[in-house]
Structure 1
Amino acid sequence: MKKDIEDIRNELIHLIGEKAERFGFSRIAGQLEGLLLFSKYPMSLDEMAQRLEVSKASVSTNIRILEQWKIVKKVYHKGERKNFYAIRGSIWEIETEIMSTVAKDEIDRVKRILSNSSNDLNRLQGGTEQESKEISFLNERFAEIDEYIESMEYLLNLFLKQGEISPAVVKKITIS
């Protein structure tokens, strides 16, 4: 059976929804991103809900999340009382913003846990020689993890330098 334009568009919307879900986000948020990404014109909440066959409340909740992540923006139509939404920027800008937000949140979370665990460990009194050795070993591991996280944070910031890194620049990077 030959696919039409809407079949292809639906497959892509579904794919982006699955991608979002695999990364721990709402499938509907991903589908909304895909819907707006492959739409020529801004859409209202009602239009998006009808198109995805989900409730308007679900669309409203997920569109607010996409606004917070700077993936979509409100677009005003003169004479309309409804809010309309469109994709904010290019694919590159959107996906690097998502990656930046997710990665930075995860880095911050790990740093907090590591700091709390390190503080807890340093409050312990190594009563025996074995406990002292164990505390020393764990402190060494914490230092290794901290160095790794610091390096990853540096690489992330380097990669995400706004306006300086583009697909063309990335394609010029050689890995030997």
Structure 2
Amino acid sequence: MKKADPKNSIPTSTAEINKLRDLSESVGDFIRYWGFRRIHGQIWTQVFLSKTSLSGAELTQRLGVSKALISPALSELEAYGLILMTEDGKKTKRYSAAPNVIPVIKDILKEREAKIIATAQEKFGTLHKIHEKRGEQESLLQSDRVEELGQMITLAQFALNFIIGQSDEESLACWTEEALKAEK
């Protein structure tokens, strides 16, 4: 009898579940940099990729975490508009991904990142005035580097404004097209 070639066999559901958990953890790690908790990214990935809506119990099992960690995170993701909650006939809350996350991302950029950049611009402006007043000879700072940093902050503000200013459909199409170009 001929042995099955492991390269050509379909992975077991256990393998798929484990790889999905690995991906969920990676997305969780990434999303922490956006001010969310790791569990938010883990849950969102599971819900986004699932063929069917998921209950809190299913998410607890899939992620191997406690219900105490899942429950508040589900409420928070729902409040952000990243997931939607429905109840089945048994009063079990089930969660599915919001159809378009671009508006949510843009709102977060407006609320948080815009404030961070505005603060950096303000503090840079104050330092720049002091640097100019002291002059090249008296200042502790390199003039060309001061100007370069100012340009970086301006570029960050421009990029943020560009992203926020795009319509949701334009954003997704534009971002996807650029990402696909970058992959090649």
Q: TM-score, normalised by structure 2?
A: 0.66
Q: Which residue of 2 aligns with 1:162?
A: 168
Q: 1:119: Cα distance to partner?
A: 3.1
Provide, for residues 118-140 of structure 1, a one-character-per-residue CA deviation record: whole Å limited to 9, x for no partner.
23654689467633695976764
Provide, for residues 121-165 of structure 1, a one-character-per-residue CA deviation record: whole Å limited to 9, x for no partner.
54689467633695976764464234312321233135x412344
Q: Among 109, 116, 119, which residue is 1:109 paired with?
A: 116
Percent identical pairs in the alignment equals 19
In structure 1, distance between residues paired with 2:143 and 2:79: 42
Provide, for residues 2-47 of structure 1, a one-character-per-residue CA deviation record: whole Å limited to 9, x for no partner.
5223422431242132123034353322221222123333223233
Aligned residue for 2:168, secondary structure, equals: coil
In structure 2, distance between residues paired with 1:167 and 1:125: 44
Q: Among 138, 144, 148, which residue is 2:151 paired with?
A: 144
In structure 2, distance between residues paired with 1:117 and 1:60: 42
Question: Do the aligned partners of residues 64 and 116 (structure 1) sit closer, same or farther apart at CA in structure 2, a change above 3 Å counting?
Answer: farther
Q: Which residue of 2 aligns with 1:40?
A: 51
Residue 28 (str. 1) matches residue 36 (str. 2): no
Question: Do the aligned partners of residues 110 and 147 (structure 1) sit closer, same or farther apart at CA in structure 2, a change above 3 Å counting?
Answer: closer
Contact 1:20 1:27 in 2 (8 A): yes
Q: Among 84, 89, 100, which residue is 2:106 paired with?
A: 100
Residue 7 (str. 1) matches residue 7 (str. 2): no
Q: 1:69 is aligned with what amino acid? A: Y
Q: Among 67, 71, 74, which residue is 2:82 paired with?
A: 71
Q: 1:58: Cα distance to partner?
A: 0.7
In structure 2, distance between residues paired with 1:122 and 1:135: 14
Could you tell me which runs of 5 or more consecutive residues in structure 1 were left unpaired when the two chains were aligned. Answer: none
Question: Do the aligned partners of residues 37 and 129 (structure 1) sit closer, same or farther apart at CA in structure 2, a change above 3 Å counting?
Answer: closer
Question: Do the aligned partners of residues 86 and 169 (structure 1) sit closer, same or farther apart at CA in structure 2, a change above 3 Å counting?
Answer: closer
Q: 1:109 is aligned with what amino acid? A: I
Q: CA RMSD in A?
A: 3.8
In structure 2, distance between residues paired with 1:142 and 1:63: 40
Question: Do the aligned partners of residues 161 and 13 (structure 1) sit closer, same or farther apart at CA in structure 2, a change above 3 Å counting?
Answer: farther
